């Protein structure tokens, strides 16, 4: 398995509207989509920077993954997502190399993509996501 590029960087924010204003007004990027991902208990906003996206994540539930992350660590970089051709195959590949998985099988992410998370204890402290069409 070999990722093709960094698909997106996920950033936990406390207030999506304020965060969007910063990315648009200060950095000059354009928010092209806002989406609720009920599965993950987040509301997301997307920006493109070349081939890579910035994914802002606001929690919709204090007990959701982003709610708990902000409670513990405050807002900031939450995860890095690699684009892979086949998420299910990529997850199997890294598991065979001893990586602990959060998701054994892909689940539905934003933008109709399949996603799967690797455990940060197995990835040098970086919560890592695979992202792809299948
Ligand atoms: Zn993500």
Q: What distances in angstroms separate CA 101 from CA 31, 74, 80, 128, one per listed residue?
A: 31, 24, 15, 10
Ligand 1 midpoint to CA 26 (Å):
23
The tens digit of pLDDT for each residue in 42-79 reads: 999 999 999 999 999 999 999 999 999 999 999 999 99
Q: What pTM does this model have?
A: 0.91
- Contact between 33 and 45 under an 8 Å Cβ cutoff? The reply is yes
The domain segmentation of the chain, as residue ranges, is 8-76, 84-134
Domain topology for 8-76: 2,3-Dihydroxybiphenyl 1,2-Dioxygenase; domain 1 (3.10.180)
Ligand 1 midpoint to CA 56 (Å):
9
Ligand 1 midpoint to CA 85 (Å):
16
CATH number listed for the domain at residues 84-134: 3.10.180.10
Ligand 1 midpoint to CA 9 (Å):
7
Ligand 1 midpoint to CA 82 (Å):
9
């Amino acid at each position: 398995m070999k990722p093709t590029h960094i698909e997106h960087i996920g950033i936990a924010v406390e207030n999506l509207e304020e965060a969007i204003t910063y990315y648009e007004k200060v950095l000059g990027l354009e928010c092209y989509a806002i989406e609720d991902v009920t599965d993950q208990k987040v509301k997301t906003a997307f920006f493109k920077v070349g081939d890579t996206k910035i994914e802002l994540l606001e929690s919709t539930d204090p007990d959701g993954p982003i709610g708990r992350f902000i409670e513990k660590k405050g807002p900031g970089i939450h995860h890095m997502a690699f684009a892979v051709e086949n998420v299910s195959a990529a997850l199997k590949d890294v598991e065979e190399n001893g990586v602990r998985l959060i998701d054994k099988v892909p689940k539905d992410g934003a933008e109709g993509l399949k996603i799967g998370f690797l455990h940060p204890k197995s990835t040098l402290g970086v919560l890592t996501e695979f992202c792809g069409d299948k």
